[in-house]
Amino acid sequence: MRKSNCSVAGTHMFQQVVRLPEQIEFSLSSLFFNIRRTSKFAICGMGTCAIAGEVVSDYMDDKGAHPISVIRGLELPRWVDSDTTVLVISYSGDTPEALHNYRSAVRKGAQVICVTSGGELEELCVKDDNVLMSIPYGFQSRGALGYMIGYIVVALHYCGLIDSYEDFKGALPSVKAYRDELIKDDNNEARRIARFIGNRSPVVYGFFNMRATMLRWKYQFNENSKVLSFCGTFPEFNHNELVGWTSDMLTDRFVPVVLMDDSVSQMLKYMAETPIGMLSDNGTEAYIHHLQGDCLLTNTLRGIILGDLTSLYLAHLKNVDLNVIDASDDTVGMPE
């Protein structure tokens, strides 16, 4: 993997996010022998941990035979029982919401799997003899997304809810090649998007089948670039947000960034291209990037890498110190 000469490439966060495919690869190679089959599956996590669940949920909606739920709150669904696997993710192991949901899952008699780098969650998991999937220590939570994605896929496989993880393994060479092309070019697409955004607040759009990718962009703009950011999906955009973009006098403070999955149907493409044209006619230009992978999973992972890099370049333009360790989505939560 070749590195860019841009100063962003020397930061810890850059080194973490560009290793997304290698992190997934590492997790997929892990073996576990104490996971039983269940018919239901829920993922508990906040921030990046929830995004990892959403990435796999998008994949399951496209390819899987079983839906999975991502729980961001403090209450587990009533359907959680002994035939449910509850996978609790907290990078630090000290996220209050994750610890609360861990204890709730144990009380309900669910099979509990923990994904963490340590903290109280690891201590509870070991003490209760539940399944522990360990992430290497020393990352920001948002820099360890690939480990989380890979472990979720492994857990689903052992629970009997997906046949194999060959789709994920098969997508990685293309994602690595895409990553390598991006970072070897000092005038790459991520830098161009960052310059286009400038001092405005980015609003990221894409098709509903890639909602996890849009959420990841929003979170990375929030945490890496230190800017307000929002996201939405097509065709829902056509039924409400279009009115705001074409009527509100404050739209010049915001900039739409559109991720187009070229693998969708012509009808869906039309339902995105038409309102984008209306924005242009109204004086609002969107930055449109076409994700040209051969399947939804490849486009999802490519889109995540592009968004991560865009957020870092935007931070650089705003003179944000990317080597400062700040409060992550794993360390700020409800009071004990």
If asked whether residues 80 and 92 sit together in one domain, one would say yes
Residue 151 near residue 27, CB atoms below 8 Å: yes
3-class DSSP assignment, residue 43: strand
Spatial separation of the C-alpha atoms in residues 70 and 126, rounded to whole Å: 24
Residues 160 and 294 in one domain: no
Confidence class of residue 151 from pLDDT cuts 50, 70 and 90? very high
Question: Does residue 162 share a domain with residue 175?
Answer: no
Q: What is the pLDDT of residues 27-49, one digit of tens each?
A: 999 999 899 999 999 999 999 99
Task: State the pLDDT at residue 214.
Answer: 96
- Report which listed range, 156-165, 215-224, 275-284, is most confident: 215-224
Determine the angle formed by the axes of helices 48-63 and 145-158, rounding to 10 degrees. Answer: 50
Mean pLDDT lowest among 54-58, 166-170, 322-326? 322-326
Same structural domain, 162 and 185: no
Q: Please say if the pLDDT value at position 4 is more than 70.
A: no
One domain for residues 215 and 109:
no
Q: Dihedral, CA atoms, 119, 99, 90, 162, nearest 10 degrees? A: 130
- Shared-domain flag, residues 160 and 16: yes
- The three-state secondary structure class of 144 is coil
Asked whether residue 27 is assigned to any structural domain, the reply reads yes
Instruction: Output the CA torsion sign for 250, 252, 255, 260.
Output: positive
Instruction: Say if residue 134 is in the same domain as residue 179.
Output: no
Q: Which of 108, 138, 168 is the last residue of a domain?
A: 168
In this predicted structure, the answer to whether residue 3 has a pLDDT above a threshold of 60 is no
Residue 188 domain-assigned? yes
Q: How confident is the model at residue 163 (pLDDT cuts 50, 70, 90)?
A: confident
Q: What's the mean pLDDT in 279-297?
A: 91
Q: How would you list the strands of the sheet with 287-291, edge to edge?
A: 230-234, 201-207, 254-261, 287-291
202-240 tens-digit pLDDT: 999 999 999 999 999 999 999 999 999 999 999 999 999
Same domain (yes/no): 203, 109? no
Three-class secondary structure of residue 59 per DSSP: helix
Over residues 46-81, the pLDDT tens digits come to 999 999 999 999 999 988 788 899 999 999 999 999
Instruction: Say yes or no: 162 and 208 in one domain.
Output: no
| Amino acid letter for position 60 | M
| Residue in 310, 313, 301 with CA at minimum distance from that of residue 150 | 301
Asked if residue 322 has pLDDT above 60, the reply is yes
Query: How many angstroms separate the CA atoms of 64 and 112, rounded?
Result: 21
Distance separating alpha carbons of residues 200 and 259, to the nearest angstrom: 18
User: Do 196 and 305 lie in a common domain?
Assistant: yes
Check which CATH number belongs to the domain holding 210 and give it: 3.40.50.10490
What total of structural domains would you count in the chain? Answer: 2
Q: What share of the chain is helix, strand, coil (3-state, %, to 5)?
A: 50, 15, 35
Residue 329 belongs to some domain of the structure: no
- Among candidate residues 178, 173, 180, 118, the one with its CA nearest the CA of residue 144: 118
Identify the H or E element spanning 271.
helix 266-281
Same domain, 303 and 209: yes
- Mean pLDDT, rounded, of the chain: 92
Tokens 């990435």 sit on residue: 55
Closest CA to 106 of 90, 122, 129: 129
- Structural domain including 195 reads 171-317
As a whole number of angstroms, the distance between CA 261 and CA 317 comes to: 28
Poorest-pLDDT segment among 60-64, 159-163, 243-247: 60-64
Residue 287 φ/ψ region, left for φ over 0, alpha for ψ in the -120 to 50 degree band, beta for the rest:
beta
Looking at the fold, whether 48 and 147 belong to one and the same domain comes out as yes
Q: Per the domain annotation, does 265 fall within a domain?
A: yes
Six-digit token pair at 41?
A: 């599956």
- Enter the pTM of the model: 0.92
* Separation between Cα atoms, residue 247 and residue 239, nearest integer Å: 14
Using CA atoms, how far apart are residues 114 and 10, in angstroms rounded to an integer?
Answer: 32
